[in-house]
């Protein structure tokens, strides 16, 4: 068997990188790798992970969704306003998720039916959703959610954060859907060649709308988790999050040109960014180092990957 036949080089390299990082961290500061610390730090990652799952599928179709951070903020504000208006916190969360789904559907319709490039569409809605969130909340934070709701962001089941369980279920479902459903394979085909996909009778427009709607829905869910954890909903939350999400997906081996990528890679990409960032923050206590470290990590992973998968043709 030739080396080139092994399909998981990228994931393997990334896992090795993470392992090296954790071993290094354990040498420098053993407390960092303890279960307790890791669980405590994990609360920072769930929104990123949740948004990275639909982003993987979108980038597989050669699309992009820059509006996820703003859609998340808009969802959070809708959640907060609904709660303030007297709705039960869970009902309010449902309203927020619906708002996110509508944001995503709007993106999807513009991409699929108006045929505007997703970069343009979501660059516009990146600004627009945030603007609506600021406008309807008047920039004021909303807090005072009951403990029965904040459990979504803070609670654990058998020691595992509830948010983590939700993310794991969604990531698993998405991974299976990509690998084992007709729609999943269709997304890869669309990413490689949308015209040939249409000529093969694949429901290109329908899948595109569904995909962006799903991204918005996940943004709504991420908003609920975020609000539950911080006990506050504010229009400026999730600012710049879309770039972290895209970085994690690309780090995970999904081609920005479409046609290839896997959820398992994205999970590792999220993990690599999360652990690096948390360790830097934990050990040196310099937040500004984060961005540099993530950038270095991205370049290192891409270069290492190229070293192992140099095409033989």
CB of 301 to other proteins, least distance (A): 22
Query: Of residues 259-288, which lie at the interface with other proteins (CB under 8 A)?
Result: 259
Binding mask 190-229 for other proteins (x = CB under 8 A): --xx-xxxxxxxxx--------------------------
Provide the token pair at 156. Answer: 């654990």
Could you give the angle at the alpha carbon of 52 between the alpha carbons of 231 and 102, nearest 5°?
A: 70
256 binds other proteins (CB under 8 A): no
Residue 270 · residue 48 · CB < 8 Å: yes
**Residue 33, helix vs strand vs coil:** helix
**Shortest spacing between CB 55 and other proteins, in angstroms:** 21
In angstroms, what is the minimal distance from the CB of 260 to other proteins?
8
Question: 34 or 181: whose CB is closer to other proteins?
Answer: 181
Residues 163-192 that bind other proteins (CB under 8 A): 180-186, 188-189, 192
Q: Is 64 helix (H, G, I), strand (E, B) or coil?
A: coil
Q: Which is nearer to other proteins, 188 or 226 (CB)?
A: 188
Compute φ and ψ for 244, nearest 5 degrees.
Answer: -60, -40
- Enter the DSSP assignment of 31: G
Q: How far is the CB of 220 from other proteins (least distance, A)?
A: 24
Record the tokens describing residue 2, joined without a space.
């030739």
- ∠ at Cα 239 (235, 245), nearest 5°? 135
The DSSP call for residue 30 is G
**What's the min distance (Å) between Cβ of 181 and other proteins?**
6
> How far apart are CB 17 and other proteins at their closest, in Å?
27
Cα(245)–Cα(64) distance, rounded to whole angstroms? Answer: 11
Residues 6+ apart with CB under 8 A from 24: none
Q: Report d(CA 137, CA 235) in Å as an integer.
A: 7
How many residues belong to the site for other proteins (CB under 8 A)?
21
Footprint on this chain of other proteins (rule: CB under 8 A): 180-186, 188-189, 192-193, 195-203, 259
């Amino acid at each position: 068997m030739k080396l080139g036949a092994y399909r998981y080089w990228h994931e393997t390299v990334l896992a090795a990188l993470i392992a090296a990082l954790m071993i290094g961290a354990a040498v420098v500061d053993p407390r960092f790798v303890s279960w307790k610390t890791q669980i405590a730090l994990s609360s920072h990652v769930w929104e990123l992970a949740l948004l990275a799952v639909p982003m993987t599928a979108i980038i597989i179709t050669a699309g992009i969704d820059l509006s996820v951070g703003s859609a998340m903020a808009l969802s959070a504000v809708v959640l907060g306003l609904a709660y303030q208006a007297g709705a039960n916190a869970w009902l309010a969360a449902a309203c927020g998720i619906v708002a996110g789904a509508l944001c995503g559907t709007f993106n999807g319709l513009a991409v699929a039916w108006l045929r505007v490039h997703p970069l343009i569409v979501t660059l516009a809605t990146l600004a627009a959703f945030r603007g609506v969130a600021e406008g309807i909340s008047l920039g004021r934070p909303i807090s005072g959610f009951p403990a029965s709701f904040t459990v979504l962001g803070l609670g654990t089941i058998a020691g595992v954060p509830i948010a983590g369980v939700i993310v794991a279920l969604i990531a698993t479902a998405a991974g299976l859907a990509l690998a084992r459903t007709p729609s999943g394979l269709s997304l890869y085909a669309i990413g490689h060649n949308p015209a040939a996909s249409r000529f093969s009778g694949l429901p290109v427009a329908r899948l595109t709308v569904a995909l962006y709607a799903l991204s918005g829905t996940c943004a709504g869910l991420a908003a609920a988790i975020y609000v539950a954890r911080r006990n506050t909903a504010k229009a400026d939350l999730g600012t710049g999050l879309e770039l972290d999400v895209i970085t994690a997906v690309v780090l995970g081996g999904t081609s920005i040109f479409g046609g290839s990528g896997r959820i398992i890679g994205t999970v590792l990409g999220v993990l690599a960014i999360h652990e690096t960032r948390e360790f830097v923050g934990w050990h040196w206590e310099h937040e500004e180092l984060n961005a540099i470290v993530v950038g270095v990590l991205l370049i290192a992973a891409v270069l290492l990957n190229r070293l192992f998968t140099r095409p033989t043709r």
